């Protein structure tokens, strides 16, 4: 088995695929611990903050983790390390946005190359701490270690803690599995080309859509059926909502918002956009944009949820000439 | 600058030291977020589970993270990967024991070598999930990625969530900075030789002292002044309590419990024991052992807390011939 990715300038082959490992993890029996409200499989898990013997007493907490790895998500030889730290934090917090959560704190572990320079490490820490503080998710702890081998690459793991957006109403988070036939599919911004040929670009400078997610949750209420953040590519990430919800999706190539100079195929497959994809009930009154600032977020209806059938792909795109292309596998194999 | 460690059979040199990176992190201004009750620097941080705008509403949560890395904490070419997963979870939970916390959940991220075999990855997951379930800290989420370079080693990062042991009484955790002159220093088991010449041994099979810590907290109450888990070596870890508390420590070489065939120097410097070191007030009634089972935990008084003075080392050991040896730096440079 092989996986090849033209990401960040390097190809690789490996004996296992990330998606296969995840499938094996999700195939395990779920925990029978009553404190686990949402287990592995969504953007974040949800647990009650309670000691083992009194599982009912505590409030719900959203928690999840993500990694940024040299050669996979960044090129550590090209990119200033404060931007790498920033990306590690923002990437993990994008999962909080995906569930319309409110950040509580972040934890980070870093594994440094043996030849890391002190000033680069200092910048990495600055990037981590400042990005976390900026979105009200203070970095409160973690660990640092240094590779014992010459060629071990930089990697950073960030865990995020958040509260569900509506703690009073029982801690309902926006999950992946609520999309229904007839829902409109909506994205919060232009897609594609997030990683430039020089390794720089949107993937290093984006701000996770935390406040937009909370606004959408407040405006749309129960009509916000499902949500995910677009990290691995629209095709693959839309497929995750579709699979979790037991539906198919049909997108319109002409409606997919593309970053300047980017084709719809790139917009669907490039990944690293960190915009939100929503499934919204047909009755809901959808605003055109959120916020009034220069950074206001435009909402784009790009397709709809259709019935699962053998005649349609999990995620299809209808092109200008009326053909339907299967894009379910377009994007990363779990970045 | 160089650091050399004879750990797990490999020597290394690197341009930065973990302790220096940590010093730089701890030298940053603390977060001014009122939800942060304990920031970086103790075994775990403590935050209130509250959204940013209402920092007072939620209960306190202990949180921290630790790593297990091939070549540093294990040899992935020698050790079955279920034991590596087990160690990663137990090592992180040992920090929960150090603060007498009660586990809530764990999150794990894994970065796999490109040539990892599917059955080894499966065992790794089994080790992670089973160890977590066993101590009531269900593994609820995380991430898996695969190195894009040929020689990137296996690494695992585990985040632990826990509640303070006495949530009702304001969430007082046992910290590192409470040791006082006159306190007895106590360890919960034999030290040294935890990593065998073959790479196996206690460091792969220990159970974190979670229940013992809660019992000690209950028995000793406010006389339990400070606690830490011994991962980097008694010398270095005792020095952490001493430095945080502004005191010195004097140990008695004859009283340090040694694993069979191990010298006191090894017991002080080897690390990876995952026993607890306590500073206990002189008035407290100290039990000899906890629990009545075959695995009962014996308590050993190994020394006392003394005044900080220029005449004594941060952590000293009095040997049989009456000499005092400085052992403050014996152990790992932050493993």
Choose the final residue of a domain: B169, B197, B225.
B169
In a domain, A322, yes or no: yes
Among the residue ranges A219-233, A266-280, B73-87, B291-305, the one predicted with the least confidence is B291-305
What is the pLDDT at residue A293?
A: 58
Q: What is the pLDDT of residue B248?
A: 98
* pLDDT above 90: percentage of residues in chain A: 78
Tell me the CATH number at B132. 3.30.1330.10
Report if residue A19 sits inside a domain: no
Tell me, what's the pLDDT at A169? 42
Output the six-digit token pair for A126: 């600055």
Contact B111 A155 (CB under 8 A): yes
Does residue A290 carry a pLDDT above 60? yes
Cβ partners under 8 Å of residue B34, min gap 6? B48, B55, B56
Task: Name every chain A residue with its beta carbon within 8 A of the beta carbon of B114.
Answer: 12-15
CB-nearest to B159 from A14, A107, A112 is: A107
Q: In this structure, are A161 and A216 located in the same domain?
A: no
The tens digit of pLDDT for each residue in A9-50 reads 444 567 888 888 888 888 887 889 999 999 998 889 999 999
Q: Is residue A10 part of a domain?
A: no
pLDDT-wise least confident of A121-135, A161-175, B7-21, B319-333: B7-21
> Residue B273, class by beta-carbon neighbours within 10 Å (0-12 exposed, 13-18 middle, 19+ buried)?
buried
Rounded Cα gap, residues A277 and A256, in angstroms = 11
The sign of the dihedral angle between the CA atoms of B231, B83, B85, B148 is: positive
B318 shares a domain with B190: yes
Supply the pLDDT for residue A11: 46
* pLDDT value, residue A212: 94
B332: confidence class by pLDDT, cuts 50, 70, 90? confident
Range of the domain at B71: 33-169
B306 and B227 housed in the same domain:
yes
The verdict on A164 and A188 lying in the same domain is: no
Residue A90 tokens, joined: 């923002």
On chain B, the residues whose CB falls within 8 A of the CB of A61 are 49, 61, 104, 161
Q: What is the pLDDT of residue A8?
A: 58
Mean pLDDT (whole number) for B189-200: 95
Which helix (H) or strand (E) segment holds residue B85: the answer is helix B81-98
Max CA pair span of chain B: 61
Q: Residue B157 is nearest to which of A28, A133, A157, comparing CB atoms?
A: A157
How large is the C-alpha radius of gyration of chain B?
Answer: 20
Taking CB atoms and an 8 Å cut-off, how many pairs form between chains A and B?
298
For residue range B25-56, list pLDDT tens digits in order: 888 878 899 999 999 988 899 999 999 888 98
Number of compact structural domains in chain B: 2
Question: Which residues, at least 6 apart from B210, have a Cβ–Cβ distance to it below 8 Å?
Answer: B93, B96, B97, B102, B103, B135
Tell whether A164 and A126 lie within a shared domain.
yes
pTM for the structure as a whole: 0.93
> Is there a single domain that holds both residue A64 and residue A145?
yes
Closest partner CB to B66 (pick from A121, A133, A143): A143
The pLDDT assigned to B168 comes to 41
Domain boundary among A140, A169, A198: A169
State yes or no: pLDDT of B13 exceeds 80.
Answer: no
Averaged confidence pLDDT in chain B:
90
Give yes or no for residue A273 having a pLDDT over 90.
yes
**B24 in any annotated domain:** no
Is B153 found in the same domain as B235? no
Domain end marker among B169, B202, B222: B169
Q: How far is B82 from chain A (nearest CA, A)?
A: 14
A63:B31 CB<8 A: no
Is the pLDDT at A335 greater than 50, yes or no?
A: no
Convert the pLDDT of each residue in A36-47 to its tens digit: 999 998 889 999
Contact criterion met (CB below 8 Å) for A246 and A196? no
B39 contact partners, CB below 8 Å, separation of at least 6:
A138, A140, A141, B30, B31, B45
Instruction: Give yes or no: residues B228 and B317 share one domain.
Output: yes
Q: Please list the residues that pair with A46 across neighbouring strands.
A: A38, A62
CATH number at residue B257: 3.90.650.10
Co-location of A80 and A132 in the same domain: yes
Give per-residue pLDDT as tens, B195-206: 999 999 999 999
Q: Which structure tokens are listed for B217?
A: 């907290």
Mean pLDDT over A210-234 rounds to: 94
Percent of chain A beyond pLDDT 70? 92
- With respect to residue A261, please indicate whether it lies within any of the assigned structural domains: yes
A200 and A307 assigned to the same domain = yes
Give residue A95's pLDDT band: very low, low, confident or very high (50, 70, 90). Answer: very high
Q: What is the pLDDT of residue B1?
A: 30
Q: Give yes or no for a contact between B150 and B116, defined as CB atoms under 8 angstroms apart.
A: no
CB B125 within 8 A of CB B111: no
pLDDT tens digits along B80-105: 999 999 999 999 999 999 999 999 99
A198 in the same domain as A74: no
Query: Is a pLDDT exceeding 50 seen at residue B4?
Result: no
- Averaged over A233-247, what is the pLDDT? 97
- Which of the two residues, A319 and A335, has the higher pLDDT score? A319
Q: What per-residue confidence (pLDDT) applies to A235?
A: 97
ipTM: 0.92
Percentage with pLDDT > 90 across chain B: 77
Looking at the complex, report in whole angstroms how far the Cα of residue A248 sits from the nearest Cα belonging to chain B.
Answer: 26
Residue B115 lies inside a defined structural domain of this protein: yes
Please indicate, yes or no, whether residues B264 and B234 belong to a single structural domain of this protein. yes
Please give the average per-residue pLDDT across B132-151, as a whole number: 92
Contact check, Cβ <8 Å, B16/A67: no
Name every residue whose Cβ is closer than 8 Å to that of residue A99 and which is 6 or more positions away in sequence: A42, A43, A44, A62, A162, A164, A173, A174, A175, A213, A227
- Which range has the worst mean pLDDT, A135-149, A163-177, B294-308? A163-177
User: Is residue A291 predicted with pLDDT exceeding 80?
Assistant: no
On whether residue B237 sits in a domain, the answer given is yes
Write the pLDDT tens digit of every residue in B117-133. Answer: 999 999 999 999 999 99
Question: Looking up tokens 């008694």, which residue turns up?
Answer: B234
Do the domain assignments include residue A153?
yes
Which position has the higher pLDDT, B60 or A331?
Answer: B60
**What is the Cβ-side half-sphere exposure of residue A182, based on CA atoms within 13 angstroms?**
5
């Amino acid at each position: 088995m092989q996986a090849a990715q033209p990401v960040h300038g390097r190809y690789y082959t490996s004996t296992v695929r990330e998606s296969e490992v995840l499938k094996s993890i999700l195939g395990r029996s779920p925990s029978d611990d009553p404190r686990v409200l949402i287990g592995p499989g969504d953007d974040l898990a949800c647990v009650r903050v309670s000691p083992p013997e009194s599982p009912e007493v505590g409030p719900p907490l959203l928690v999840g983790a993500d990694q940024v790895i040299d050669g996979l998500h960044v090129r550590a030889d090209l990119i200033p390390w404060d931007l790498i730290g920033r990306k590690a934090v923002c990437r993990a917090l994008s999962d909080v946005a995906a569930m319309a959560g409110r950040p509580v704190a972040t934890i980070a572990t870093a594994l440094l190359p043996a030849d890391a320079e002190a000033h680069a490490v200092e910048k990495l820490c600055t990037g981590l701490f400042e990005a976390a503080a900026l979105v009200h998710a203070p970095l409160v702890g973690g660990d640092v270690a240094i590779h014992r081998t010459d060629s071990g690459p930089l990697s950073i793991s960030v865990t995020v803690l958040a509260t569900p957006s509506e703690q009073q109403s029982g801690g309902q988070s926006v999950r992946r599995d609520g999309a229904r036939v007839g829902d409109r599919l909506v994205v919060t911004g232009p897609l594609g080309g997030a990683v430039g040929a020089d390794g720089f670009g949107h993937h290093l400078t984006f701000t996770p859509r935390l406040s937009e997610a909370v606004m959408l949750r407040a405006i749309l209420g129960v009509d916000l059926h499902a949500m995910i953040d677009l990290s691995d590519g629209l095709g693959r990430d839309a497929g995750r909502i579709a699979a979790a919800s037991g539906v198919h999706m049909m997108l319109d190539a002409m409606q997919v918002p593309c970053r300047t100079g980017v084709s719809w195929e790139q917009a669907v497959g490039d990944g690293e956009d960190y915009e939100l994809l929503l499934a919204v009930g047909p009755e809901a009154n959808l605003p055109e944009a959120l916020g009034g600032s220069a950074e206001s977020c435009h909402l784009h209806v790009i397709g709809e949820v259709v019935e699962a059938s053998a005649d349609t792909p999990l995620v299809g795109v209808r092109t200008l000439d009326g053909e339907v292309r299967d894009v379910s596998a377009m994007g990363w194999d779990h970045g």
